[in-house]
Chains A and B, each alone.
Chain A
Amino acid sequence: MEQFSQLFEGIVKFQWQYLIMYLIGGILIYLAIKKDYEPMLLLPIGFGAILVNLPLKSIWEFAPELDEAVTKIVAKYPELQAFLAEKFHYIFENGQAFKVEQGVLQILFNSGILTELFPVLIFVAVGAMIDFSPLFKSPRMIFFGAAAQFGIFFTVLAALFLNKLFPSLNIDLKAAASIGIIGAADGPTSIFVASKFAKDLIGPISVAAYSYMSLVPIIQPPVIKALTTKQERMIRMEYKDTKVSKIVLILFPILITIIAGIIAPISVPLVGLLMFGNLIRECGVVERLSKAAQNELANLVTILLGITIGSTMHYEKFLRKETILIMLLGLVAFIFDTAGGVIFAKIMNLFSKEKINPMIGAAGISAFPMSSRIVQKLAKQEYPENFILMQAVSANVSGQLGSIVAGGMVLALVPWLLTLAG
């Protein structure tokens, strides 16, 4: 009878929670295919979520096998137990040692996410795709790239405040910072920070980050309209098409890397590799490498990153109250990012002779080029001849810089503050 049940182990060990996870995975796949919401990421994440919630979870880890030799060694040297559990994936029950071999997705997770390899490689690809020249044409737009990171820090505070109200949520500063970084509107930065501070929350944080990035056209317009008057939205801005020298485009990524590396050394994997990708693009002598970074590297790592993130969505980790909280706080982060940018533009207008259309501030988030397109669309709705797309693109490119700088700040400040607090 026991052998017979072994044959149908998948059915015997089926849990009702799997059905919920299939539904969630299915919704992500639906959004990717039918609604075209970040399909490159949501599709593999959705499928990964289904894969890891199959009975026996063999794609994540194999069934434990008794290792008699190690059992004898540990009986003699019990102090080795913790070391073997951590480094060699042993579990111990009733004095017996069981080896748990990693499945393919756990190997990818350990080597690509825990080591931060995948998000960092994505930065090389993103760097090769970014054209910073719009920023050189309207440099003052760079301030919106900073202002529109407000949502990150507001959300950290909101998460900590909620934890104060409901201590059972168990959100400490590291977890709050990982949730807040959803507001960077930059998937790889969110994954990078979460992999440092809250590995258990990587799944919901990534899903929230990519979902809200794709929902920017729905989230931003009402916030922008609520914070601006019709007159403000009709402000026209002059645009000078300044030409940018090639040497400027080449020196920029090198200088930024050096400065970021000196100010916040911990941000080097983020900034440094983004700028390396950008240097490949701008130098003009390694066209093949630039194209490879923009296409082959980006595509390959995106597939691996997506399915590995999906594999962190096992129901035991995902079907928790923290996931709902992360989804809600992620929305708060995007709303306050938008508000931060718009309000900062209005403040700048108090001191500036050349008025800025405050909607430009909303384009200071990292979601490129969606955010700038939304701003242009809203400007056109108010005044059909108004063309502020180029300034919005400048702010949007600044947002890509701002998000990794803010990510670097969070990475540097959280351990520092915790050390200060003792």
Chain B
Amino acid sequence: MNDINLGIQLMGFGILGTFTVLILFYFIIKILMKVFPYKSDEQ
């Protein structure tokens, strides 16, 4: 396999992987905000 092919694969998997992980983080944020909403007595 030549380097250009490897580069294309790195690009595909890399972008996909980065998006996947950050989408996961997005859901973590959503869940945390839902489960632990801010209470007015906090401070």
Q: Mark B5-41, 1 if CB is under 8 A from A, else 0.
A: 0111111011101110111111011101100111100
B10 touches A414 (CB 8 A): yes
Contacts of B1 in A (CB 8 A): 420-422
Distance, CA A342 to CA B11, complexed state (A): 19
B8 touches A157 (CB 8 A): yes
User: What is the chain B residue whose CB lies nearest that of A252?
Assistant: B32
Looking at the assembled complex, report how far the CB atom of A253 sits from the nearest CB atom of chain B, in whole angstroms. Answer: 11
Looking at the assembled complex, report how far the CB atom of B28 sits from the nearest CB atom of chain A, in whole angstroms. Answer: 6
Q: List 26 A-B contacts (CB under 8 A).
A: A135-B29, A136-B29, A136-B32, A139-B26, A142-B22, A143-B22, A147-B19, A157-B11, A159-B7, A161-B4, A164-B3, A173-B6, A242-B38, A244-B33, A244-B38, A251-B36, A256-B28, A259-B25, A259-B28, A263-B21, A263-B24, A402-B22, A405-B21, A409-B13, A413-B14, A417-B6
* Partner of B10 from A242, A247, A263, A413 at Cβ < 8 Å: A413
Does A243 make an interface contact (CB < 8 A)? yes
Q: Mark A137-171, 1 if CB is under 8 A from B, else 0.
A: 00110110111011011101101110110000000
Q: Mark A172-216, 1 if CB is under 8 A from B, else 0.
A: 110011000000000000000000000000000000000000000
How would you classify the secondary structure of chain B's contact residues: helix, strand, loop or mixed? helix
Distance, CA A402 to CA B29, complexed state (A): 15
Q: A173-B6, A260-B21 are in contact. Are A245 and B38 (CB under 8 A)?
A: yes
Given contacts A160-B3, A245-B42, A255-B32, 10 further A-B contacts (CB under 8 A): A143-B23, A153-B14, A157-B11, A159-B7, A173-B6, A176-B7, A242-B38, A251-B36, A405-B21, A412-B17
Q: Mark A224-268, 1 if CB is under 8 A from B, else 0.
A: 000000000000000000111111100110011001100110000
Contacts of A417 in B (CB 8 A): 6, 9-10, 13
Q: A245-B39, A417-B9 are in contact. Are A153 and B33 (CB under 8 A)?
A: no
A142 touches B36 (CB 8 A): no
Does A406 make an interface contact (CB < 8 A)? yes
Please give the number of chain B residues whose Cβ is less than 8 angstroms from any Cβ of chain A in the complex. Answer: 32
A251 touches B7 (CB 8 A): no
User: What is the chain A residue whose CB lies nearest that of B2?
Assistant: A164
Distance, CA A149 to CA B22, complexed state (A): 12
Q: A143-B22, A256-B25, A402-B18 are in contact. Are A248 and B13 (CB under 8 A)?
A: no
Chain A residues close to B by CB (< 8 Å): 135-136, 139-140, 142-143, 145-147, 149-150, 152-154, 156-157, 159-161, 163-164, 172-173, 176-177, 242-248, 251-252, 255-256, 259-260, 263-264, 398, 401-402, 405-406, 409-410, 412-414, 417-418, 420-422
User: What is the chain B residue whose CB lies nearest that of A271?
Assistant: B21
Distance, CA A418 to CA B5, complexed state (A): 11
Contacts of B22 in A (CB 8 A): 142-143, 145-146, 398, 401-402, 405
Contacts of A163 in B (CB 8 A): 3
User: What is the chain A residue whose CB lies nearest that of B22?
Assistant: A146
Contacts of A420 in B (CB 8 A): 1
B15 touches A153 (CB 8 A): yes
Q: A142-B29, A413-B13 are in contact. Are A156 and B18 (CB under 8 A)?
A: no
Distance, CA A143 to CA B19, complexed state (A): 7
User: What is the chain B residue whose CB lies nearest that of A246?
Assistant: B42
Looking at the assembled complex, report how far the CB atom of B29 sits from the nearest CB atom of chain A, in whole angstroms. Answer: 5
B33 touches A142 (CB 8 A): no
Contacts of A406 in B (CB 8 A): 14, 18
A157 touches B4 (CB 8 A): yes
Looking at the assembled complex, report how far the CB atom of A173 sits from the nearest CB atom of chain B, in whole angstroms. Answer: 5
Distance, CA A176 to CA B10, complexed state (A): 11
A157 touches B7 (CB 8 A): yes
Looking at the assembled complex, report how far the CB atom of A342 sits from the nearest CB atom of chain B, in whole angstroms. Answer: 16
